[in-house]
Every structure is written in structure tokens, then in C-alpha cells.
């Protein structure tokens, strides 16, 4: 691990916060949370949709979450004498804390879900509590920074932190998959400008992962081989959609990309999740990922809105089919145009891409 010190504290409402310090003896954990916060919100509900065999979370308390505050009132900046933020210390390297407005929570017991709220639901729509966990990860204390401006050593720290959190959150009873991700840009829908990501511990296997597991399972039954391993090998051999690569990772545009600019970064060795990466693989990830992010920003000469999503193996059944990879994509299709998920994508889940994947890869390589 690149972080030299891991110290946990409790915020004034009982939520956990963890400092991951790149140097020891930081004393950051000695700063108390001086705020007087209300107790954490009640658990969300999971409602089953029998028409599509999916679970939907209903978390009404998230409607009141913080929305684009001024920079001097940013809850992700270090605390100052005039403003107490979510991070009590006056500075930090990387910090993780329980989301104040979680979609899922492990701090609420299943029997605390009020059954009186469920009277109007039918027998076909079972309801259960949204047991899980949601955390926020701050990559830097610099409010005006971005992930693409981090040093490779800081990216390595972030990878180690995500591995730490994946391992710990995977042990929570009822968690089906751990999903780290970053949203960047108001076009994507961020509510805080400070460079940060989130980590969701889902109580059910999300629909996208279910689709991937079904496809990988069918492929293995038919061929005896691993699907993502073969897809990655084919892309590396074809080269036409490869954007950049190093000894341990390849970044490529998927042949059937759904988004105008989409890149997947995958380790050459099959591993199920971030904790399984070797030191060499963790070191090699940062320089390649930073290179791809710089290419994204250079596409239109301005910061690119994007979603960065780590696909990891599930915790339970089907874990052997997982192949860790990062999916990076943007909704910007031109300097002044966004791809909106309108009728076909939103209503039917059928994507229509405006950019030919081979052309997208060629453009990204040329930057």
C-alpha cells in the first residue's frame, strides 16, 4: 500500500470517516467534527419491478442533498476556522467517509423498515430495505483540481484506497457487488465540483452486471473460455481501436461502443477486483489512465464531462466470471453538442451511437 497511515474517526452524527495519509504521523484524526448534525436518514426501500426483473431503490431523503454550493462552503474541502466541512482536518491526502445522503446503508437494521408504508403495494412487488453502504472518496484537498491533474503517485494511492474499501465493503452482510465510480462535470449531473468519487455497495446485482454475467456464462458454456479475456485479446491483436497501452494495461474503444467517446482500460491479467491487482499493475494503471484523461480533455479543448466506472466481480454466485476493468465515457459528442438519452435509449435501452468507434479511437490516438 502506498498510504503510510490509515486512521478512522466518527463524525458528529456517527458516520465513519477514514484518512489515508501518504506520510505517517499526520495527526489529522485528532481534529473533531464541531458540527451538530441530525442522525443519519432512514433506510431506503428496494422495490421489485416484476415486468423487467429488476430492483429499484427509493431514497426520498436524497432529494435534500447539497447542490452546487459556493467554493467557500464546499463540504469536501478541509475545514477552516470559518467553515466546518465534512472533513474536520485542515488538510488531507485522500479521505473516505460515509455519504450523508446514502442510497444504501449498513447502519439501519432490516426490521427498522416500517411495514405501514407498504400497504398499497401488490403481491407482485415485494419491498425490502436498502441494506448496503455508500461512501464518498475525495482524491485531493485541492478544490480546483481534477483527477486528470493528479500525480501518478496519488493515483496509486487512490487505487490502493479503492482496493481497501472494496475488500472491507464486500464483507458486509447482504452486499452483492462493490462499485467505485466518478462523475465529472455539470453536464453529467454532479452536485459538488470538488474532485471526488463514490463507492456503492449494492444489495442486489445491478442490471448491467446481470447482463454481463449472463453473456459470460453463455460464452463459457459454449466454448469453455473466458469472454472478457478473449475480447481483450482480440482488441489487442486488431489494434485499430486501441488508444494506448503499456506492459500491464490496454485502453481501447469497444467495437460496439454505446457512447460517443468511450474507452475501457483493462489489465492484461484476469483479476476479479481491485484488491487482486499486483503492485506492478497498480503502478502501471495511473500513467495510462492519466494519459487517456488528458486525451479526453484535448478532444474539444475544454474539460470533458465523463463517468468513470470500475466493473468488478460480484461477491457471490458468478464471481468467477468477473474480469476487472474500468469504463470511461462521455456524453459530449461535439464541442457544442451532448448526447441525450432520449426515446430509444431511455425508454427502450437501445443505444444509437453518433460516432463510429474506429474513428473515435483514431481521434483519441492522434491527440
Active site amino acids:
196
DSSP one-letter string for 39-81: PPPPPPEEEEETTTTEEEEE-GGGGGS--S--GGG-TTSBPBT
CA 207-231-273 angle, 5° bins: 55
First CA to last CA distance, the chain: 33
What's the Cα-to-Cα distance from 90 to each of 15, 58, 63, 76, 354, rounded to whole Å? 19, 36, 29, 11, 46
Which residue in 290, 240, 296, 236 sits closest to 266, CA to CA? 236
CA 249-160-173 angle, 5° bins: 110
| Chain center to CA of 139 | 13
E strands, the chain, are 5-10, 16-21, 45-49, 54-58, 94-98, 127-129, 133-138, 177-184, 196-202, 242-245, 249-252, 261-267, 306-311, 325-330, 332-334, 337-338
Contacts of 208 (CB under 8 A, 6+ apart): none
Residues in the chain, overall count: 367
Which residue in 113, 106, 109 sits closest to 133, CA to CA? 106
What's the Cα-to-Cα distance from 321 to each of 206, 210, 230, 272, rounded to whole Å? 15, 11, 13, 8
Amino acid at each position: 500500500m502506498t498510504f503510510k497511515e490509515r486512521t478512522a474517526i466518527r463524525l458528529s452524527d456517527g458516520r465513519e470517516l477514514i484518512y489515508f495519509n501518504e506520510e505517517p504521523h499526520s495527526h489529522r484524526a485528532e481534529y473533531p467534527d464541531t458540527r451538530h448534525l441530525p442522525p443519519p436518514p432512514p433506510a431506503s426501500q428496494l422495490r421489485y419491478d416484476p415486468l423487467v426483473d429488476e430492483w429499484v431503490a427509493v431514497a426520498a431523503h436524497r432529494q435534500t442533498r447539497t447542490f452546487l454550493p459556493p467554493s467557500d462552503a464546499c463540504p469536501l474541502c478541509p475545514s477552516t476556522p470559518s467553515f466546518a466541512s465534512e472533513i474536520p482536518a485542515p488538510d488531507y491526502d485522500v479521505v473516505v467517509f460515509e455519504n450523508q445522503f446514502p442510497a444504501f446503508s449498513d447502519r439501519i437494521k432490516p426490521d427498522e423498515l416500517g411495514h405501514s408504508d407498504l400497504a398499497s403495494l401488490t403481491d407482485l412487488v415485494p419491498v425490502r430495505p436498502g441494506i448496503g453502504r455508500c461512501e464518498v472518496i475525495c482524491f485531493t484537498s485541492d478544490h480546483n483540481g481534477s483527477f486528470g491533474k493528479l500525480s501518478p503517485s496519488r493515483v496509486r494511492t487512490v487505487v490502493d484506497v479503492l482496493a481497501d474499501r472494496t475488500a472491507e465493503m464486500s464483507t458486509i452482510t447482504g452486499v452483492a457487488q462493490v462499485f467505485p465510480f466518478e462523475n465529472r462535470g455539470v453536464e453529467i449531473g454532479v452536485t459538488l465540483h470538488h474532485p471526488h468519487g463514490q463507492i456503492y455497495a449494492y444489495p442486489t446485482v445491478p442490471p448491467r452486471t446481470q447482463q454481463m454475467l449472463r453473456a459470460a456464462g453463455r460464452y463459457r458454456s459454449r466454448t469453455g473460455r473466458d469472454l472478457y479475456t478473449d475480447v481483450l485479446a482480440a482488441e489487442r491483436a486488431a489494434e485499430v481501436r486501441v488508444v494506448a497501452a503499456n506492459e500491464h494495461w490496454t485502453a481501447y474503444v469497444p467495437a460496439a461502443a454505446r457512447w460517443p467517446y468511450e474507452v475501457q482500460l483493462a489489465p492484461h491479467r484476469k483479476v476479479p477486483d481491485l484488491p487482486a491487482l499486483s503492485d506492478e499493475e497498480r503502478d502501471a494503471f495511473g500513467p495510462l489512465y492519466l494519459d487517456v484523461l488528458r486525451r479526453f480533455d484535448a478532444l474539444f479543448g475544454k474539460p470533458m464531462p465523463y463517468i468513470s466506472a470500475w466493473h468488478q466481480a460480484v461477491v457471490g454466485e458468478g464471481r468467477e466470471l468477473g474480469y476487472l476493468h474500468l469504463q470511461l465515457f462521455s456524453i459530449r459528442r461535439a464541442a457544442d453538442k451532448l448526447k441525450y438519452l432520449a426515446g430509444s435509449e431511455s425508454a427502450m435501452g437501445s443505444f444509437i451511437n453518433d460516432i463510429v468507434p474506429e474513428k473515435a479511437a483514431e481521434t483519441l490516438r492522434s491527440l
